[in-house]
A and B are shown apart, each in its own frame.
Chain A
Amino acid sequence: MEHIISVTVENKFGVLSRVAGLFSGRGFNIESLSVAPTLDPTMSMMTIVTSGDDRIIEQIVKQLNKLIDVIKVVDLNETEFVERETALIKVHTKPEDRAEALRITDIFRANVIDSTPSTYTIEVTGDIKKVEAMINLLQPLGIKELIRTGRVAIARESIRPALAQPKRVAKE
């Protein structure tokens, strides 16, 4: 089963490779991964989409927790969460297709962010079903290039526990 795991890590060099190395070394699967700093610039948040049975997911969560640079691990599937992904899609548009491309963009509440006489670049944001539905609809027009951010997800507020971790301190 697919799980979205949210991992708070130290924002320093080498952390991404430790996480990636853990997944490759133990044969776990990464479907997508996105990383960026949090409000606290000493920490980064990773959203990892992975899959496996309960035993594998339990191991993934435990092994992530065991990494010293990992501060907190939340398996979002255990809570209510919202997820989003952004895709940038460059489509070929023959003169007769341009109106159709704009209609699809409109239906999905997406935006055209770049335009040439023969292409549109469309930005779409939404959950994975929406992004994939839009890609499917644009495919007949001819997709020249496609880039996706991978999913990010966040727990719904009422359930999300506060992030309260002691800072790294060196005492005399």
Chain B
Amino acid sequence: MKLTGAEIFVECLKREGVKTLFALPGGVVLKIFDILYQQKELDVILTRHEQGAGHMAEGYAKATGRPGVALVTSGPGMSNVVTALVDAYMDSVPLVCFSGQVSTSMIGNDAFQEADNIGLSRPCTKYNFLVKDVNDLAVTIKEAFYIATTGRPGPVLVDIPKDVSMNKADFTYPGSVSIRGYNPTYDGNKWQIKQAAEAIAKAKKPVLYIGGGVVFSGASEEVRELAEMCQIPVDMTLMALGAFPGEHPLSMGMMGMHGTYWANMAVHYSDLVIAVGARFDDRVTGKVSEFCPYAKIIHIDIDPTSIKKNLHVDIPIVGDCKRVLRELIQVLKATVNGDQKDLRKPWWDQINEWQRAHPLAYDQDPKGPIKPQHAIKRLYELTKDRDPIVSTDVGQHQMWSAQYFKLPSPRRWLTSGGLGTMGFGFPAAMGAQAAFPDKLVLCVAGDGSVQMNMQEMATAVAHKLPVKVIIINNRFHGMVRQWQDLFYDGRYSSSDLGTTPDFVKLAEAYGAVGLRAQKISEFDAVIKEAITIDGPVIVDVPVYPYENCYPMIPAGGCNHEMILADPPELKKKISDKVTPEDKDTVVTA
């Protein structure tokens, strides 16, 4: 039987097991939306902006491990989703994005709402397709899902011209595809793995440095087994949080620019760094020439281009983290017999000393304004028994969340790491909520970044996605202000937001619930109330605006040279400042 391209599209999605589609219609995709209207299996979530659709698909993918799927129209629809594609590409999120295109006969004519979707998405997708013939549609969609989800995952764009969605073709869905130029390596080189095992057995001061690859590969159990067997401290990148239990005695928390003191000291003074599914990003390494100067480096990654991209690696192993670690554990079991407690004791004594010397700290005056760290720490403590999924936007609140949320398992942490996309958090949380309707999904946001995709509150209300948005409201672009305080002599150029909306009223205007925790004494009760409400909630938390996020390694600085608190002259300057005036939001303190 012949089906139209639009029908083939819907059939293919069903065969791929897609349940939820984040979408926004437009002229050239109307035929597809018409078919979507006539079926019940796919849940279509209509977003208010295509960027929201892209981030929702990302949140869905990060929380489930399955590809997120978005559908947008040509021209502006496509260009609006580009930010989400770039974000997904940087953070290796499996995403399949379908864009509409003008009819094949019109392509290149500067037609209405035409854009070069392939050209726009080329540098920000793992691969992209323009489907010129309806007969190629099914196999193209199969290939798109295959490429997005295998190897190092990433976003794939499929551009579907209007006539392709209208024309008819015989429908057969291929069971599998193989592409001759695309053969990811999954099994690590056995000889290299043996070298790695020998290095681990000999090391006195090893550190595991795990990244997002551990989450994608599902290698959490293996990391845990390796760490416990060999008593190795585990440093996590921003992307890896939750891949190793945050409260585990071997967990060092986050490393890097705003990582913990002990995580950064450990990696700096270690004699063996075991990097797993991480890519030596500059926010982790600091000054790359002085990153772990005393260490041998083992690097396990599925993407060969990640290895030796930024620095020299002694033992490179290309392969899937889970499979390589499994193999490595087998080798180690046979050679070291597990117990290395005695060998590692001096190393752990040193680490414990670092931990005692500079724990994460802040001063909370019980009568003063709420400190952002306090809000985030309490939020964690009040919700941890519900095992929430936590998303964040980008900025100070993101780093504090990374420091204080000690997540127990992977796929609980949704954040924009590589690209640092403000406005990511709220739609990503909604995507996760769409996948897990009964789970508590929190979005920790800043008052600056949440406004970048605020319009999606309408989507949350319409589709009953009960995300709880906690706005750490300091009326600044806080991280920008922090840098201006530290490096630009306190000149707050365009970081003072001047006025922010009344988020309680804003929530109510959208038909959601708005709450505010004005004083420290109210905070716990407000959070407890928020998480019992059956629907989307905004909790506005006005906080002390001049708080800075520490530890901090200045950009290009060395990992053991952290700033641990406001320098004295800055402290004095800030203490002279009064809280900024704000006509619309209630002023703190």
Task: Identify the A interface with B (CB < 8 A).
Answer: 9-10, 14, 17-18, 21, 25, 55, 58-59, 62-63, 65-71, 165-172
Contacts and interface: CB of A to CB of B under 8 A. Distances in A.
Q: Is the interface of A mostly helix, strand, loop or mixed?
A: mixed
A22 to B, nearest CB: 9
Contacts of B130: 14
Contacts of B179: 68, 168
B504 to A, nearest CB: 45
A136 to B, nearest CB: 40
B122 to A, nearest CB: 6
A166 B180 contact: yes
B175 A171 contact: yes
A62 B181 CA distance: 13
14 contacts: A14-B118, A17-B119, A21-B123, A59-B308, A59-B309, A67-B181, A68-B179, A165-B180, A166-B180, A168-B177, A169-B177, A171-B174, A172-B172, A172-B175
A172 B181 contact: no
Contacts of B182: 68
A166 B172 CA distance: 23
B575 interface: no
Given A17-B122, A25-B123, A171-B175, A62 B180 contact: no
A55 B308 contact: yes
A63 B307 CA distance: 11
A1 to B, nearest CB: 17
Contact of B174 (A17, A18, A55, A172): A172
Interface of B: 118-119, 122-123, 126-127, 130, 139, 142, 147, 172, 174-182, 303-305, 308-309
A161 B89 CA distance: 34
Nearest to A63: B305
Which 3 residue pairs across A and B have the least CB separation, nearest first?
A170-B174, A62-B305, A71-B181
Contacts of B309: 59
A65 B308 CA distance: 15
A39 to B, nearest CB: 16
A169 B178 contact: yes
A59 B306 CA distance: 9
A69 B174 contact: no
Contacts of B176: 171
Contact of A66 (B175, B177, B180, B305): B305
B122 A58 contact: no
A168 to B, nearest CB: 5
Given A17-B122, A169-B177, A170-B142, 14 more contacts: A9-B181, A10-B181, A14-B118, A25-B123, A58-B308, A62-B304, A62-B305, A63-B305, A66-B305, A67-B181, A68-B181, A168-B178, A169-B178, A172-B172
Contacts of B147: 68
B186 to A, nearest CB: 15
Contact of B180 (A21, A59, A167): A167
Nearest to B182: A68
Contacts of B139: 170
A66 B174 contact: no
Given A168-B180, A172-B175, A68 B122 contact: no
Contacts of B181: 9-10, 67-71
Nearest to B178: A169
Contacts of A55: 308
A78 to B, nearest CB: 17
A172 B308 CA distance: 40
A72 to B, nearest CB: 8
Contacts of A172: 172, 174-175
B304 A166 contact: no
A62 B304 CA distance: 7
Contacts of B304: 62, 65-66
Which among B142, B147, B179, B181 has the highest number of chain A CB atoms within 10 Å?
A: B181
Nearest to A55: B308
A172 B175 CA distance: 5
A115 B182 CA distance: 50
A13 B119 CA distance: 12
Contacts of A9: 181
A12 to B, nearest CB: 11
Contacts of B142: 170
Contacts of A62: 304-305
A65 B130 CA distance: 22
A42 to B, nearest CB: 9
A100 to B, nearest CB: 50
Contacts of A166: 178, 180
A170 B177 contact: yes
A14 B119 CA distance: 9
Q: Indicate the member of A58, A65, A168 with the most B CB atoms within 10 Å.
A: A168
